[in-house]
Chain A
Amino acid sequence: MSAIQLTPNGRLKHFLTVSGLSRELLTEILDTADSFIEVGARNIKKVPLLRGKTVVNLFFEPSTRTRSTFELAAKRLSADVLNLNISTSATSKGESLSDMLQNLEAMASDMFVVRHARSGAAHFIAESVTPGVAIVNAGDGWHAHPTQAMLDMLTIRQKKGSFEGLRVAIIGDILHSRVARSQIRALNTLGVEEVRVIAPDTLLPLHVESLGVTVCNDLEQGLDDIDVVIMLRLQKERMQGALLPSEQEYYRLYGLTKDKLRKAKPDAIVMHPGPINRGVEIESAVADGPQSVILDQVTNGIAVRMAVMSMAMSGQTESNKTSE
């Protein structure tokens, strides 16, 4: 599935999905990100790796955190950055998506960071662009959000030292979650002991166990012996399609409270990709509490995005050289 994102030598040239990437490559992304954390702590927070390159943030869905951390990451790599926020109504026809890409390429862009409401949009764009242009997936539909998953992995490694033996629970709307799909893939590739998903059946995709997870419908049972608790954001529109009766009932059954968190290991960490719905999926006392690493995730997001952008760009340079 991921052959399109690798050079013949197995280097990244796009970053579309975690799927199909080896443990070695994922570890290399984490190690590279680690080295960039130091850059963020400097007085002058810049390295010249993408100097003279143009990065276009192509966001077809609204985003604050992801877009701004991508922008900061590109700027810290010394790239020129163009931010485009495109309402999907203007491009509901894909023909204009293709046309738009051609126009942006004509401006000699070197990298597109793409967020789109349709699963597979980043793949489609990677297949459409001319060689030499790198695509980084900033979230496509329900499919993948690989930089989010990798910043979560970096946070877990920082707090837990390694992935070996860890039991990780992902709680909430797995069905519609690109974050969960990417996390599950990354966690299994990096060799955790168990990934457990906790949700009612209405929020679980058919055959979810085929992703390499165990399934639990009950939060308190599910938190037993857990090292890492990952909460997912609950979209308000889930009440419409008869997926859930109400936010209140969801919070009562699946909201993470201090009380319920006691069922997990005492040193368990709590993560959330943001933005948080306080009182819907998580209690403020937990989100702001000592076990929460939610703000570490944001900080790590910049370093991870610097890592994949620099790796993809160098992969593109490498494959251009070999094709010349």
Chain B
Amino acid sequence: MNNEMLLIQHGKYLTSAGSWQQAPAIYVQHGHIKAIGEVQNGLQASRTIDAAGCLVLPGLTDLSVALREPGNRDKGSIASETAAAAAGGVTTLCCPPDTQPVNDSHAVSKLIGELAHASGKCRVKPLGAMTKGLLGEQLAEYASLKRAGCVAVSNAYHPLRKLSVAKRCFEYAKTQHLPVFVNPMEPSLYRGSMHEGIVSTTIGLQGISSLAETIAVAHYLQLAQATGVKLHLSQLSCAESVAQIRQAKQQGLNVSADVALQNLLYTDEAAANFNSVFHTQPPLRAESDRIALLEGVKDGSIDAITSAHRPHEATAKLMPFGDTEPGMSLVEHLLPLAWMLDQRGELAFPRFIRAMNEGAAAVIAEPANHIAESAEANLVIFDPEHQHLCLAETMQSTGKNSPLLNQTITGGVNTTILEGVVTYQRSADTLDN
């Protein structure tokens, strides 16, 4: 928070009602939006940002950004990945507990919180481990995790082999008033490195059956109903999962879900050349799944979209496909990719923003961001016309494992503001491109 007056001029902003509104001036001071409307001669701005031709958006909330720290500094650090998130327009993020050591303790959560605070790029809300060491055997200390700032507990793609343990986790999480984030996977069926379908059959890669997810979704929905926990299903990938969650919501179950942006953009066809950038978790599935996921976002069955950001060092992807590590480095390109979905007519841009603002914030019981007078100033200025060539050296993330690498990207974030402070400003040389 600081005292200087920031003036954003000539932008078009997204109202809380989801419509676009021209704003000659948005004044920001003391971490809040002071005024929206005409330029006021009485207000002296110490810094002016020209947002002509740009969209002013509420800051995004991303439910799954792997920061890799502690433990995997060759993949990323809290400093580098929160900077990448800020460059992507994110002001609040959740980081999964699969660090080294696993975030199953007060100490690790505290460390993450302190390092995130020091870098100051994003609000970081850690997810604690659902079980000690993510081994699926013993409960982690949920109350301590919560005290250290964790907003939920998660299995982070580590299988909960015993439903008896999952049931206890749900019961204990409910007792501690913590939501559970579950990546639904039935471990005995979750074998392989891509979607089981025509492409896996053609190229002879072991395929992960859709049943590995949909059977797990059915289990966890029943456990949630029985225990009364607030269940959040993370990164759904199958059409049948969307159908199940839609039905569960219609029946009044306290459940939410998100989808990884990669699963809205790509299908298993992208991996037909053994391109390891498209080795993801969950796998990229069939076109019918992709369409169903988009429909799920549109009708609200799926509450939130996440970058599922998974930065890797180069060698993690330099192996035969099945031996490579899954995931994409995507957080800093959320908005250009969302813009692409809008331009293709697949998902309206304001709907995307809602999924990454109101939708995601509600999952972790945080207030959503609003562009309105006296609201907290968490803002993104996005230029949909901006073009730039994505190169390894222009990426903020340590992980260069982006499908956009060496491609020209249309749309770019100019500025991200967190509590009135600029956390990202595109440098002049890339502005000129």
- Please judge, given known A-B contacts A118-B320, A143-B205, A178-B204, whether A207 and B315 are in contact too, CB under 8 Å: no
In the complex, the chain B residue whose C-beta lies closest to that of A124 is B320
Looking at the complex, which one of B198, B204, B315 makes contact with A119 (CB distance below 8 Å)? B204
Residues 195-227 of A at the B interface (beta carbon under 8 Å):
205-208, 210-211
CB contacts (< 8 Å) of A206 on chain B: these are: 196-198, 200-201, 207, 209
Interface size of B by CB at 8 A reads 23
Looking at the complex, which one of B196, B207, B323 makes contact with A94 (CB distance below 8 Å)? B323
CB contacts (< 8 Å) of A4 on chain B: these are: 273
CB contacts (< 8 Å) of B324 on chain A: these are: 94
Would you call A142 an interface residue if the criterion is a C-beta within 8 Å of the partner chain's C-beta atoms? yes
CB contacts (< 8 Å) of B315 on chain A: these are: 94-95, 98
A95 to B313, CA, bound (A): 11
B204 near A181 with CB under 8 A, answer: yes
A123 near B274 with CB under 8 A, answer: yes
Looking at the complex, which one of B201, B205, B318 makes contact with A120 (CB distance below 8 Å)? B205
Residues 178-205 of B at the A interface (beta carbon under 8 Å):
196-198, 200-205
Could you mark each residue 74-109 of chain A with 1 if its beta carbon is under 8 Å from any beta carbon of chain B, else 0?
Answer: 000000000000000000111101100000000000
Would you call B322 an interface residue if the criterion is a C-beta within 8 Å of the partner chain's C-beta atoms? yes
Looking at the complex, which one of B201, B273, B319 makes contact with A1 (CB distance below 8 Å)? B273
A1 to B200, CA, bound (A): 14
A249 to B192, CA, bound (A): 28
Could you mark each residue 105-126 of chain A with 1 if its beta carbon is under 8 Å from any beta carbon of chain B, else 0?
Answer: 0000000000010111101100
CB contacts (< 8 Å) of B319 on chain A: these are: 93-95, 97-98, 118, 124
B320 near A116 with CB under 8 A, answer: yes
A98 near B321 with CB under 8 A, answer: no
Would you call A144 an interface residue if the criterion is a C-beta within 8 Å of the partner chain's C-beta atoms? yes
Closest chain-B Cβ to A15's Cβ sits at a distance in Å of: 16
Would you call B272 an interface residue if the criterion is a C-beta within 8 Å of the partner chain's C-beta atoms? yes
- Please judge, given known A-B contacts A119-B274, A123-B273, A142-B206, whether A94 and B320 are in contact too, CB under 8 Å: yes
Would you call A235 an interface residue if the criterion is a C-beta within 8 Å of the partner chain's C-beta atoms? no
Residues 157-212 of A at the B interface (beta carbon under 8 Å):
178, 181, 205-208, 210-211
Closest chain-A Cβ to B323's Cβ sits at a distance in Å of: 5
In the complex, the chain B residue whose C-beta lies closest to that of A178 is B204
A141 near B202 with CB under 8 A, answer: no
A210 near B202 with CB under 8 A, answer: yes
CB contacts (< 8 Å) of B206 on chain A: these are: 142
- Please judge, given known A-B contacts A98-B315, A120-B274, A206-B196, whether A141 and B201 are in contact too, CB under 8 Å: no
B197 near A143 with CB under 8 A, answer: no
Could you mark each residue 123-146 of chain A with 1 if its beta carbon is under 8 Å from any beta carbon of chain B, else 0?
Answer: 110001000000000001111100
CB contacts (< 8 Å) of B197 on chain A: these are: 206-207
Residues 296-333 of B at the A interface (beta carbon under 8 Å):
315, 318-324
CB contacts (< 8 Å) of B207 on chain A: these are: 205-206
B318 near A119 with CB under 8 A, answer: no
B201 near A205 with CB under 8 A, answer: yes
CB contacts (< 8 Å) of B320 on chain A: these are: 94, 97, 116, 118-121, 124, 140-141
In the complex, the chain A residue whose C-beta lies closest to that of B207 is A206
A211 to B197, CA, bound (A): 12
A181 to B200, CA, bound (A): 11
A178 to B205, CA, bound (A): 10
CB contacts (< 8 Å) of A1 on chain B: these are: 203, 272-273
B201 near A119 with CB under 8 A, answer: no
CB contacts (< 8 Å) of A142 on chain B: these are: 204-206
B322 near A210 with CB under 8 A, answer: no
Residues 197-241 of B at the A interface (beta carbon under 8 Å):
197-198, 200-207, 209
Residues 155-171 of B at the A interface (beta carbon under 8 Å):
none
Which among B202, B315, B319, B320 has the highest number of chain A CB atoms within 10 Å?
B320
A95 to B315, CA, bound (A): 6
In the complex, the chain B residue whose C-beta lies closest to that of A206 is B196
Closest chain-B Cβ to A205's Cβ sits at a distance in Å of: 4
Residues 273-291 of B at the A interface (beta carbon under 8 Å):
273-274
In the complex, the chain A residue whose C-beta lies closest to that of B322 is A118
A183 to B358, CA, bound (A): 53
A207 near B201 with CB under 8 A, answer: yes
Closest chain-A Cβ to B36's Cβ sits at a distance in Å of: 52
- Please judge, given known A-B contacts A1-B273, A120-B274, A206-B196, whether A141 and B204 are in contact too, CB under 8 Å: yes
In the complex, the chain A residue whose C-beta lies closest to that of B321 is A120
CB contacts (< 8 Å) of B196 on chain A: these are: 206
A118 near B323 with CB under 8 A, answer: yes
Could you mark each residue 318-362 of chain B with 1 if its beta carbon is under 8 Å from any beta carbon of chain A, else 0?
Answer: 111111100000000000000000000000000000000000000
A207 to B205, CA, bound (A): 14
In the complex, the chain A residue whose C-beta lies closest to that of B271 is A120
Closest chain-B Cβ to A77's Cβ sits at a distance in Å of: 28
A181 to B322, CA, bound (A): 18
A98 to B319, CA, bound (A): 8
CB contacts (< 8 Å) of A123 on chain B: these are: 273-274
A116 to B204, CA, bound (A): 13
A1 to B274, CA, bound (A): 9
CB contacts (< 8 Å) of A144 on chain B: these are: 204
B321 near A119 with CB under 8 A, answer: yes
CB contacts (< 8 Å) of B321 on chain A: these are: 118-120, 124
In the complex, the chain B residue whose C-beta lies closest to that of A4 is B273
A211 near B201 with CB under 8 A, answer: yes
In the complex, the chain A residue whose C-beta lies closest to that of B320 is A118
Closest chain-B Cβ to A64's Cβ sits at a distance in Å of: 22
Could you mark each residue 144-155 of chain A with 1 if its beta carbon is under 8 Å from any beta carbon of chain B, else 0?
Answer: 100000000000
Looking at the complex, which one of A19, A120, A178, A205 makes contact with B322 (CB distance below 8 Å)? A120
A1 to B269, CA, bound (A): 11
A140 to B202, CA, bound (A): 13
Q: List 28 A-B contacts (CB under 8 A).
A: A1-B273, A4-B273, A94-B319, A94-B320, A95-B318, A116-B320, A118-B320, A118-B321, A119-B274, A119-B322, A123-B273, A123-B274, A124-B320, A141-B322, A143-B204, A144-B204, A178-B204, A181-B204, A205-B200, A205-B207, A206-B209, A207-B197, A207-B201, A208-B201, A210-B198, A210-B201, A210-B202, A211-B201
- Interface on B for A, CB 8 Å cutoff? 196-198, 200-207, 209, 272-274, 315, 318-324
Q: A97-B320, A142-B205 are in contact. List 16 more A-B contacts (CB 8 A).
A: A1-B272, A4-B273, A94-B323, A95-B318, A119-B274, A119-B320, A119-B321, A120-B203, A123-B274, A128-B318, A205-B200, A206-B198, A206-B201, A207-B198, A207-B201, A210-B201
